[in-house]
Structure 1
Amino acid sequence: MTETTGHGAGYFERVGARRFAPTSHAGGAWAADEQHFSPLAGLVVHEIERTRASEGRPALPMGRIGFDILGRIAFEEFDIHVETVRPGRTIELVRATVVIAGRAVVSAQAWFLADLDTAVVAGGEPDRLPDPESASRWSMGSVWPGGYVASLDTRQVGTPSAGRATAWASTSVDLVVGERAGNLASFLALVDTANGVGVRQDPTEWMFPNLDLTIHLYRQPEGGWTGLDTTVTFGSTGQGLTSTILHDVHGPVGCAQQILTVRPLPVAAVQTS
């Protein structure tokens, strides 16, 4: 159920039943006239949860969500369409599509799984991260531009190196003005930040945007802070991979993968940056 927060600031404003307008906080890092994908991913989850609740679907935890970025996410109003592809009492598949000016720009598919007591066989997870309060404050704005990056409170754990970093991210900005998102949507709204915390090359000389984001969860995260234990790998033929172990303040919850298209910026763009 959507609730009023009263904070006033949000990444998006709801301007219709399924239609939204980005605010300045949603500004992208690669181009000023684009939206950052991270808060949009959280909004998609928010809309999936709202739709499932309004339809009386079973209250199942999300085990996986995969996003495909189909094109440029312009800084314009957009619609989100949600449909249940595979209904079920213990397993369910839901699809969501983000549409700008009649064109699909993001497609997402989410699997919901049965909530069962498997504590007796639980195990195998990595070590938890140090608490965010013990980590060093770090301004991502020193590396990246854009309203989304400026909205974050980021803390570094340890000393980063090229393609390897661990950080906590949080924000005081709501997903939607006047609405309270759930823990899952709030947590996942920060996951795409991973591709910006462990940079392998200077983003003023190289581009490495992700074409997708796939998240697997073995525990439902709690909101507040999203922990990103991230490794970035560049191949030799234009592809890269950002791999992240995801944490909340209680420990690891799952992992995320992002495929990257790696390319040098044009010389003219580098000279004027």
Structure 2
Amino acid sequence: MSDLPEAFYLPVGDDLYEPTRATQSPWDGDAQHGGPPTALLAHALDAAAGPGMRLARIGVDFLGPIPRRPARVEVTEVRPGRRIRLAQAHLIIDGRPAVSAQAWHIATGPTPPAAGPPLPPPPLPAAPAEHLLPAPSDWGYGQAVEWRSTDQAPRAPGAAQVWTRVRIPLIAGEDLTGLARTLIVADSANGLSLALPLQEWLSIPPAMTTTLLRPPVGDWVHMDCRTHLSDDGLGLARATLRDPGGYLGEVAQPLLIRRR
């Protein structure tokens, strides 16, 4: 799409980033979707970890609506180590943390003599499905990602199996990595698998955890999403991640469920 911004973020100084329209949330045009900030913090945490370490899990807390304004990224080491390392990062907007993340990095090593089941993904549909997204697709984040549903039926509340492809780089002037490609879409598990009609119910994730088995490969990430609801106003959205190489990891999001 020729009218897309060149990236989700424009670097404007040391650890400073300007969010573009591609970060725009469907819930609030002046706020960011949770996916791009998650990927930006993971990018900084990954760079700080150094060679030989791979991000295994990232937990992100959204401390309120994320303003679509210039942001600074701060990284702090929590638990140093040669084989296992924990660090945290904050996205600072208007002098206050808007997003907080903690990531575990684990040192890579020899191939073990066993492996889990491959869990190959379903075939990639030939064309995007109509009415897949829970809101009109004229918002920035919705346009910056290509969505193809494994089930080509019209969109309805409930479980969803969706192939995703991020269309632009995370940061202008830098190649889009497999890690960024995956984390940009991971926070969409809730939106893709809404259990109740969007027009009548709120489904708000204050946090998101993604655990990755291996480095993502290829341009496409498949999400098998499902939302479960409790009888006291909470929910849990989950997604199994796959790519052309097979099983990739898991996403989990706690949810606030309320009637509008």
TM-score by length of 1: 0.86
Are positions 1:221 and 2:216 aligned together?
yes
Equivalent pair of 1:66/1:213 in contact (CA under 8 Å):
yes
Matched residue, 1:79: 72
Cα deviation for residue 120 of structure 1 reads 1.3
Matched residue, 1:103: 96
**Aligned equivalent of 1:30, options 27, 32, 39:** 27
Aligned residues: percent identity? 31
Q: Residues 84-233 of structure 1 correspond to what in structure 2 (within 5 A)? A: 84-124=77-117, 127-132=119-124, 134=125, 136-139=127-130, 143-145=134-136, 146-158=139-151, 162-233=157-228
Q: State how far apart, in whole Å, the 1-side matches of 2:130 and 2:14 are.
A: 36
Amino acid at match of 1:92: R
Are positions 1:49 and 2:46 aligned together?
yes
Amino acid at match of 2:224: D
Cα deviation for residue 172 of structure 1 reads 1.5
Cα deviation for residue 101 of structure 1 reads 1.0
**Aligned equivalent of 1:257, options 237, 252, 255:** 252
TM-score by length of 2: 0.90
For 2:204, what is the secondary structure of its paired residue? coil
Q: State how far apart, in whole Å, the 2-side matches of 1:258 and 1:140 are.
A: 23
Q: State how far apart, in whole Å, the 2-side matches of 1:150 and 1:182 are.
A: 19
Amino acid at match of 1:10: A
For 1:40, what is the secondary structure of its paired residue? helix
For 2:8, what is the secondary structure of its paired residue? strand
Cα deviation for residue 25 of structure 1 reads 1.0
Cα deviation for residue 144 of structure 1 reads 1.6
Report which of the two has the higher share of helix. 1
Count of aligned pairs = 253
Q: State how far apart, in whole Å, the 2-side matches of 1:142 and 1:60 are.
A: 35
Q: State how far apart, in whole Å, the 2-side matches of 1:135 and 1:227 are.
A: 14
Equivalent pair of 1:138/1:154 in contact (CA under 8 Å):
yes
Cα deviation for residue 130 of structure 1 reads 1.6
Equivalent pair of 1:86/1:94 in contact (CA under 8 Å):
yes
Equivalent pair of 1:184/1:223 in contact (CA under 8 Å):
no
Q: State how far apart, in whole Å, the 1-side matches of 2:214 and 2:104 are.
A: 14
For 2:251, what is the secondary structure of its paired residue? strand
Matched residue, 1:242: 237
Cα deviation for residue 161 of structure 1 reads 5.5
Q: Residues 61-76 of structure 1 correspond to what in structure 2 (within 5 A)? A: 61-76=54-69
Q: State how far apart, in whole Å, the 2-side matches of 1:209 and 1:104 are.
A: 19
Cα 1:191–1:219 change in 2 (3 A) is same
Matched residue, 1:270: none
Unaligned runs of 5+ in 2: none
Amino acid at match of 1:21: E
Cα 1:66–1:204 change in 2 (3 A) is same
Amino acid at match of 1:14: P
For 2:128, what is the secondary structure of its paired residue? strand
Cα deviation for residue 188 of structure 1 reads 1.5
Q: State how far apart, in whole Å, the 1-side matches of 2:194 and 2:25 are.
A: 16
Amino acid at match of 1:263: R
Q: State how far apart, in whole Å, the 1-side matches of 2:112 and 2:127 are.
A: 34
Cα 1:233–1:8 change in 2 (3 A) is closer
Amino acid at match of 1:138: A
